[in-house]
Amino acid sequence: MVRVLSRHLIKLNLSNLSRHYHSNHLQLQQQHNLSLPGSLSLFEYQRQQLQLLEAQLIYVLDRCNNLAQLKQTHAQLLRKYLDQSSFVLTKFIRVSTKLNVSIGLYPRLVFDQVRYPNPFLWTALIRGYSILGPFDESVVVYNCMRRGGIRPMSFTFSALFKACSGLFNVGLGRQLHAQVVWIGGYHDDLYVSNTLIDMYVKCGFLECGRRVFDEMGERDAISWTSLIVAYTKSRDMEAAAELFDGLPDKDMVAWTAMVTGYAQNAKPKEALKLFESMQDAGVNTDEVTLVGVMSACAQLGAGKYARWIRDVAEKAGLSPARNVVVGSALIDMYSKCGSLEEAYRVFQMMEVRNVYSYSAMIVGFAMHGRVNEAMSLFYEMGQTDIKPNKVTFIGVLTACSHTGIVQQGRQIFSNMDKDYGVAPSADHYACMVDLLGRAGHLEEAYELVKTMSVEPHGGVWGALLGACRIYKNPEMAEVAAKHLFELDPNDIGNYVLLSNIYALAGKWDDVSRIRKLIRTRGLKKNPGCSLVEAKDGVIHEFFAGDMTHPKSKEIKEALEELLQTLRLEGYKPILSSVVHNLSDEEKERLLKTHSEKLALVFGLLTTSPGSVITIVKNLRICEDCHIVICGASKVTGREIVVRDNMRFHHFHDGVCSCGDFW
DNA sequence: CTAGGGTTAG
């Protein structure tokens, strides 16, 4: 028997892939229980032979890695022997889907040759369209299937719901939801219900998803997680947490969803705390979990945590050398925590890099004002076959703008479409307006906005408004602000910026007009807040004017002492950094309550002399604080790193890496 | 089969 089959296989002139199969066919025979008894009928023999061939084809198909191999397999084997085997063709379409082979072309041609497709084959096609698109084709195929009198399977509905999410068409989803019951009778099917929840929440109908969830007789972790994610995406962390607490068997995905949810909702402390509980609960960690945690850590800029997370990753066998995702996330985390050197070390040790790794590194260099490194990395990237994308260009352009390299920025901006096929988006225009405006080319920046190829968004006008602040141009500021108040009426930052511009120009009437506007629109100013790490890695938070920290008294005294030293060196408070119409004494008093000053002094008081003090601030650093920290780095000999909402400032011996251009 | 994810921004 073995010999008969072997001869048969050789006769088929099999490809390399199937020769590999050949060596395994003995094992396969055992799996399929193909030992041949003496008195086997011819029919039975043929049936078994067919079964073996099917198994062989599945084996070959499973090992196809591209369209060419798929076509070869089809040409050699399918057409000759098994074009009518729905079993094999279903596999064929599934493999095509997995390999991203456009369903509309080759797989569809194969499908259309089949005279009597079975429900599995129909479903595979629908599923293919629902994953690769065009999504509406799923529905077209489904209708054909119904007209052919084929009863849909539960998988069929799942695929269709996926297509509905892709189409963002809840109406269609509802129609199909009704059919689940009266055509399929699948209303108790866990799998169908889970995809149904997902469809509703992806279409933005969270409450409908919730209703399905509430009415389910049986739920699994997937049902819970779908809903948890929906709540985190709609920024309702309370609801998400409530669900999460009620989930009896929390698996890694559920934990990750929650951790990532906190990170994405600007609650990094909660994210890190939850990750710690996740570790305590003995749940595994994979790269997806790490991406969320690292993003949280990057937001906080917490150095101690960063090192701990790195350890966790290494212990989980996720090393940046081997894993691109982990590597790229690490680069981002380290550079946002202030250690650009560590970030670059990670970048260098990565064996595989992709556009994320390069972009993260370029953006890292840009944030730290290292324009030369950013540029040379960008050109180095050009030597690889990794294509830059829109984010890469944002990195390159912000690098230019942080150092005022106008000419090079202009050139890259005007050639990015032609040379790299990345058409400038509104974000890129914003970078460009920032670059031009910051360098003092206000008119050119305004011209650029007026001639944009895409609609300007808040970022573009905001960049112009920022430039108007630096170059004290209240007239142009009003134009920019008018657009901003229409585009982002609830963004408090724009109102504050405009009122600051008026204040700088001494237009106090306009200042109070804007203040009133803020009040009538019910907006709240977000207070300045600075984070600094104590010796033990604990992060301390300081708000502007807040004296509730236990060490407040000491901080106040030490700050007074520091300022006195600086005054001897010629420091004078920059009173214009205070944008309230107050007496000079009041202004000076207010300056001393800025959160970054409190954080600085706390750092000086509590950390060991050789270490770097890293401060993370939520708003832009003010000029007075910049000068004070500069001076502090000189008189104390300490290295001080400040991250504000724009970029990094490295203070060393009385000099800042930004060159006072920020 | 169905659930979690990456770099950016004024």
Q: Strands A655-656 and A539-543, how do they pair?
A: unpaired
Residue A356 lies in a domain: no
pLDDT tens digits for range A479-494: 998 899 888 888 888 8
Closest CA to A502 of A547, A494, A161, A57: A494
pLDDT band at A376 (very low <50, low <70, confident <90, very high): very high
Q: What is the pLDDT of residue A95?
A: 83
- Crossing angle of helices A458-470 and A426-438, rounded to 10°: 10
Task: Give residue for tokens 């066919």.
Answer: A25
> Smallest Cα–C1' distance to nucleotide B5: which residue has it?
A288
The proportion of chain A whose per-residue pLDDT surpasses 70, expressed as a percent, equals 92
A356 touches strand B (CB under 7 A): yes
Q: What is the pLDDT of residue A416?
A: 92
* Single residue among A520, A537, A570 that ends a domain in this structure: A520
Q: Strands A613-617 and A640-643, how do they pair?
A: parallel
Taking 60 as the threshold, does the pLDDT of residue A522 lie above it?
A: yes
Taking 70 as the threshold, does the pLDDT of residue A78 lie above it?
A: no
A496 and A570 belong to one structural domain? no
Q: What is the pLDDT of residue A181?
A: 80
Are A331 and A368 in contact by the 8 Å Cβ rule? The answer is no
Å between CA of A190 and C1' of B5: 25
Taking 70 as the threshold, does the pLDDT of residue A300 lie above it?
A: yes
Q: List the domain range (segments joined by +) for residue A448.
A: 442-520
pLDDT band at A81 (very low <50, low <70, confident <90, very high): low
- Crossing angle of helices A324-336 and A355-367, rounded to 10°: 10
Task: Give residue for tokens 């009173």.
Answer: A575
A90 touches strand B (CB under 7 A): no
Q: For chain A, how far is it from start to end, CA to CA, in angstroms?
A: 81
Q: Residues 481-510, chain A: which have Cβ under 7 A from strand B?
A: 484, 488, 491, 493-494
A584 and A641 belong to one structural domain? yes
Q: What is the pLDDT of residue A106?
A: 77
A252 touches strand B (CB under 7 A): yes
Å between CA of A163 and C1' of B5: 21
* Single residue among A471, A505, A520 that ends a domain in this structure: A520
Q: What is the pLDDT of residue A41?
A: 67
A649 and A565 belong to one structural domain? yes
Closest CA to A362 of A393, A404, A326, A320: A393
Q: What is the pLDDT of residue A80?
A: 59
The residue-averaged pLDDT of A144-150 equals 89
Taking 90 as the threshold, does the pLDDT of residue A232 lie above it?
A: yes
A425 touches strand B (CB under 7 A): no
The residue-averaged pLDDT of A390-394 equals 95
Residue A633 lies in a domain: yes
What letter represents residue A125's amino acid? L
pLDDT band at A573 (very low <50, low <70, confident <90, very high): confident
pLDDT band at A187 (very low <50, low <70, confident <90, very high): confident
Q: What is the pLDDT of residue A110?
A: 75
A453 and A497 belong to one structural domain? yes
A573 and A509 belong to one structural domain? no
In three-state form (DSSP H/G/I as H, E/B as E, the rest C), the secondary structure along A583-601 is CHHHHHHHHCCCHHHHHHH
pLDDT tens digits for range A105-125: 777 877 877 777 888 989 998
The residue that leads in pLDDT, A1 or A649, is A649
What mean pLDDT, rounded, does chain A reach? Answer: 86
A648 and A555 belong to one structural domain? yes
The residue-averaged pLDDT of A183-190 equals 81
A553 and A511 belong to one structural domain? no
pLDDT band at A549 (very low <50, low <70, confident <90, very high): confident
The residue that leads in pLDDT, A74 or A589, is A589
A516 and A554 belong to one structural domain? no
Residue A477 lies in a domain: yes
Q: How many domains does chain A have?
A: 3
Residue A239 lies in a domain: no
A510 and A557 belong to one structural domain? no
> Smallest Cα–C1' distance to nucleotide B8: which residue has it?
A391
A646 touches strand B (CB under 7 A): yes
A507 and A450 belong to one structural domain? yes
Q: What is the pLDDT of residue A640?
A: 93
Residue A386 lies in a domain: no
Taking 50 as the threshold, does the pLDDT of residue A11 lie above it?
A: no
Report how far residue A406's alpha carbon sits from residue A385's, in angstroms, rounded to the nearest whole number: 28
> Smallest Cα–C1' distance to nucleotide B7: which residue has it?
A360
* Single residue among A31, A55, A82 that ends a domain in this structure: A82
Residue A554 lies in a domain: yes
Taking 90 as the threshold, does the pLDDT of residue A430 lie above it?
A: yes
The residue-averaged pLDDT of A325-351 equals 94
Q: What is the pLDDT of residue A42?
A: 67
Residue A102 lies in a domain: no
Taking 70 as the threshold, does the pLDDT of residue A83 lie above it?
A: no
Q: What is the pLDDT of residue A3?
A: 34
Alpha helices per DSSP H over A471-535: 474-487, 492-504, 508-520
A495 and A575 belong to one structural domain? no
Burial zone of A233 (CB within 10 Å; 0-12 exposed, 13-18 middle, 19+ buried): middle
Å between CA of A240 and C1' of B6: 23
Nucleotide with smallest C1' distance to residue A329 CA: B6
Q: Which of A111-115, A536-540, A550-554, A594-598 has the lowest mean pLDDT?
A: A111-115
Taking 60 as the threshold, does the pLDDT of residue A311 lie above it?
A: yes
Q: What is the pLDDT of residue A12?
A: 35
A571 and A650 belong to one structural domain? yes
Q: Give the DSSP letter of residue A299.
A: H
Q: What is the pLDDT of residue A28?
A: 44
Å between CA of A547 and C1' of B7: 37
Taking 50 as the threshold, does the pLDDT of residue A16 lie above it?
A: no
Residue A649 lies in a domain: yes
Nucleotide with smallest C1' distance to residue A391 CA: B8
